[in-house]
């Protein structure tokens, strides 16, 4: 009900505010409200980048300048309509966002922040010193403003347009962040490896986040230039980048209303302290540290618990229903590994390993510690490339393919050490598994077109069905990280199943489980197998392996020493020797 009312309530609030501003005659007050709108646009996009995608950026002043100077040069040097110039400036800012995003494939955290800071400083120097084009401190005059009926907008009309633009931005970003792309952004912040393992194209998602932040910031810069009909290098400073970051962190990063709260409060503070610039800079630094260390959730984080909806138990069908079909029916070879070798310098955790996995079977990959089992799983899923050999899945060579691509082909996995998105709910974790199976694109999601709504509903229903299969439907709205360890293992399994795998790779799924939980896991894996999913599990619990496996492969120091049915492997002398060792003759011991 609240979701259905949100759109009309936002429209009503924007109409009331815009109407109220038409009765305000003081240009100073109108200017403050207009700057609130400008700073909200900057903060809303920055919130997508920092609060959701977790990418640190200190170059927003450069993006603000891209929009401002683009619209200035277009409107003073051509006869292009000012409204069209605003749109072109937004596009140019988006291209600058792509430029900043390029290093994000190689650098992270503070290194990424330094790269974006360098971008901002370079832009600041260019607009300040390339006077022939950008005017430097003198600036560019005569920027054509937005018009209505061939007349420049009045102060009240500028504020009204700003309010409408903020409302539209809020609604579009809300649609985007509450759906497929919002979950993908949050997964980047939590764990990029786990994100790629469920089919998220990590680099593309980062670029999208940078572009969103760049476009909104560029629009804000263009609005300031057109409203003032003037822009110079004094507008583009490092302090602006810090202020935009502060808007997000102080209001509440990751909250949809945080940018609004930050923009309103800090714009008022900025206006009150306008006569004392040194005090402004000191206060911004203090508030930034305060937000980071004392109030990490921002202002909205202090009140979030009051508005958080209580989790409700979901009534679904019986747990573990075998009618849940995941993989296709069929027989034959599913995966063929031929001569797979991996070496890290002189260490070879896999040496000329060959095996085949059959459809409809539960396979086990066993061996002593250090045998190379996890390395083999990581090579099969694309996390690390093999040094030599061939891996064919569904008849296609997958060696060297990115992780998300292998996942999209139909190979899911879990990890030896849990890689859940702990801050997200159990349901959102499983819905993330469906990311690669959803086809709604960026604009369809942002506009929440009928196809996007339909896929979102279908994804939620499928996630609930899989949670029902693993017996966790009643915990769907709980944070995944708050569950007991054994239940977190099941959440990770459900997330992997949500990728719709034909082959499921489990890296020590029973690690850390007690005997009862291990027995229940064995029963669950048998049910999963009946749903059309072939399984390859790395496991140390021999009771589990021998009770449910159809085929066992044994590695020792990276070499395959045996394979076959569980009973055959159990009696193999080389396997017994690898696990238990062999007694040396007394004479050999004396000689030694």
- Span 255-273, average pLDDT: 91
CA distance 357 to 376: 13
Phi, psi of 363 (to 5 degrees): -105, 150
Q: Is the pLDDT of residue 318 over 60?
A: no
At 363 the three-state DSSP class reads strand
Which position has the higher pLDDT, 512 or 590? Answer: 512
Give me the percent of the chain exceeding a pLDDT of 90: 62
CA distance 365 to 569: 11
Structural domains of the chain, with CATH: 2-237 (no CATH), 333-586 (3.40.50.300)
Q: Is the pLDDT of residue 591 over 60?
A: no
- Span 473-489, average pLDDT: 92
Lowest mean pLDDT among 50-59, 179-188, 272-281: 272-281
Q: Is the pLDDT of residue 371 over 50?
A: yes
Structure confidence by residue, pLDDT tens digits, 409-438 = 999 999 988 999 999 999 999 999 999 999
Burial class from Cβ neighbours inside 10 Å (0-12, 13-18, 19+) for residue 93 reads buried
Residue with tokens 């809020």: 170
Res 316: pLDDT: 45
Res 540: pLDDT: 86
Structure confidence by residue, pLDDT tens digits, 330-361 = 778 899 999 999 988 878 888 999 999 999 89
H or E stretch covering 354: strand 347-358
Res 577: pLDDT: 83
Res 3: pLDDT: 72
Calculate Rg over the CA atoms of the chain: 29
CB-based contacts of 197: which residues, under 8 Å, 6+ apart? Answer: 381, 383, 403, 404, 407, 412, 413, 415, 419
What does pTM read for this prediction?
0.90
User: Mean pLDDT score of the chain, rounded to an integer?
Assistant: 88
Cβ atoms within 10 Å of 343's Cβ, excluding its own: 14
At 549 the three-state DSSP class reads coil
Res 2: pLDDT: 63
Cβ atoms of 115 and 217 within 8 Å: the answer is no
Structure confidence by residue, pLDDT tens digits, 545-560 = 899 999 999 998 889 9
Res 369: pLDDT: 84
Q: Is the pLDDT of residue 592 over 70?
A: no
Cβ atoms of 432 and 404 within 8 Å: the answer is no
CA distance 59 to 233: 15
CB-based contacts of 290: which residues, under 8 Å, 6+ apart? Answer: none
Can you read off the two tokens belonging to residue 102?
Answer: 């390029």
Dihedral of CA 520/523/529/530: which sign? Answer: negative
Burial class from Cβ neighbours inside 10 Å (0-12, 13-18, 19+) for residue 79 reads exposed
Output the CA–CA distances (angstroms, integers) from residue 355 to 390, 407, 551, in the order listed.
Answer: 11, 20, 11
CA distance 15 to 20: 8
Structure confidence by residue, pLDDT tens digits, 447-459 = 999 999 999 999 9
Distance linking the first and last C-alpha atoms of the chain: 80
Res 163: pLDDT: 96
pLDDT band at 576; cut points 50, 70, 90:
confident
Structure confidence by residue, pLDDT tens digits, 515-568 = 898 899 999 999 999 888 999 999 888 889 899 999 999 998 889 999 999 888
Cα angle vertex 486, ends 483, 488, to 5°?
45
Q: Is the pLDDT of residue 322 over 60?
A: no
Structure confidence by residue, pLDDT tens digits, 46-91 = 999 999 999 988 889 999 999 999 999 999 989 999 999 999 999 9
Structure confidence by residue, pLDDT tens digits, 29-44 = 999 999 999 999 999 9
Q: Is the pLDDT of residue 588 over 80?
A: no
CA distance 553 to 551: 7
Structure confidence by residue, pLDDT tens digits, 107-125 = 777 888 888 888 889 998 9
Res 306: pLDDT: 63
Structure confidence by residue, pLDDT tens digits, 207-218 = 999 999 999 999
């Amino acid at each position: 009900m609240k979701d259905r009312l949100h759109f009309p309530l936002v429209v009503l609030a924007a109409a009331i505010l815009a109407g109220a501003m038409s009765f305000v005659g003081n240009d100073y007050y109108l200017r403050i409200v207009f700057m609130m709108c400008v700073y909200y646009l900057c903060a809303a996009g920055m919130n997508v980048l920092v609060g959701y995608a977790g990418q640190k950026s200190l170059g927003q002043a450069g993006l603000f300048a891209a929009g401002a100077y683009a619209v200035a040069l277009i409107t003073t040097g051509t006869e292009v309509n000012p409204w069209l110039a605003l749109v072109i400036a937004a596009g140019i800012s988006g291209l600058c966002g792509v430029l900043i995003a390029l290093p994000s494939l190689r650098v992270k955290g503070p290194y990424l922040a330094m790269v974006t800071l360098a971008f901002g400083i370079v832009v600041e120097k260019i607009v300040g010193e390339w006077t022939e084009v950008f005017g430097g401190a003198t600036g560019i005059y005569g920027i054509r403003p937005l018009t209505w009926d061939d007349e420049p907008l009045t102060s009240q009309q500028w504020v009204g347009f700003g309010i409408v633009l903020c409302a539209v931005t809020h609604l579009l970003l809300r649609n985007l962040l509450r759906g497929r792309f919002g979950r993908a952004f949050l997964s980047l912040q939590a764990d990029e490896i786990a994100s790629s393992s469920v089919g998220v194209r990590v680099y593309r998602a980062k670029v999208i986040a940078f572009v969103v932040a760049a476009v909104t910031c560029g629009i804000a810069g263009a609005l300031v230039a057109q409203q003032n009909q003037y822009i110079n290098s004094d507008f583009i400073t490092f302090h602006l980048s810090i202020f935009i970051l502060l808007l997000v962190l102080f209001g509440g990063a990751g909250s949809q209303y945080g940018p609004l709260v930050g923009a309103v409060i800090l714009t008022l503070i900025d206006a009150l302290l306008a006569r004392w610039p040194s005090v402004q800079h000191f206060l911004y630094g203090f508030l930034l540290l305060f937000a980071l260390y004392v109030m990490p959730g921002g202002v909205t984080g202090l009140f979030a618990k009051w508005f958080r909806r209580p989790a409700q138990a979901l009534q679904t069908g019986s747990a573990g229903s075998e009618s849940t079909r995941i993989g296709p029916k069929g027989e034959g070879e599913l995966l063929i590994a031929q001569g797979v070798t991996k070496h890290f310098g002189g260490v070879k955790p896999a040496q000329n390993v060959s095996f085949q996995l059959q459809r409809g079977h539960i396979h086990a990959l066993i061996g002593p510690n250090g045998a190379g089992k996890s390395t083999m799983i990581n090579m099969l899923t694309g996390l690390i490339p093999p040094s030599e050999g061939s891996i064919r899945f569904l008849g296609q060579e997958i060696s060297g393919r990115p992780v998300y691509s292998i996942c999209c082909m139909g190979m899911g996995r879990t990890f030896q050490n849990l890689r859940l998105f702990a801050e997200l709910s159990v349901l959102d974790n499983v819905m993330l598994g469906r990311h690669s199976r959803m086809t709604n694109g960026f604009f369809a999601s942002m506009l929440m077109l009928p196809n996007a709504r339909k896929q979102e509903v279908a994804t939620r229903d499928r996630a609930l069905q899989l949670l029902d299969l693993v017996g966790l439907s009643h915990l769907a709205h709980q944070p995944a990280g708050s569950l007991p360890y054994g239940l977190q293992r099941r959440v990770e399994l459900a997330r992997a199943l949500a990728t719709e795998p034909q082959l499921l790779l489990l890296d020590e799924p029973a690690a850390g489980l007690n005997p009862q939980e291990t027995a229940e896991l064995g029963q669950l894996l048998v049910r999963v197998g009946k749903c059309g999913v072939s399984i390859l599990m790395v496991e140390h619990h021999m009771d589990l392996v021998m009770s449910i496996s159809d085929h066992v492969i044994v590695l020792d120091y990276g070499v395959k020493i045996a394979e076959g049915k569980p009973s055959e492997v159990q009696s193999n002398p080389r396997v017994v020797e690898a696990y238990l060792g062999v007694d040396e003759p007394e004479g050999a011991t004396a000689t030694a």
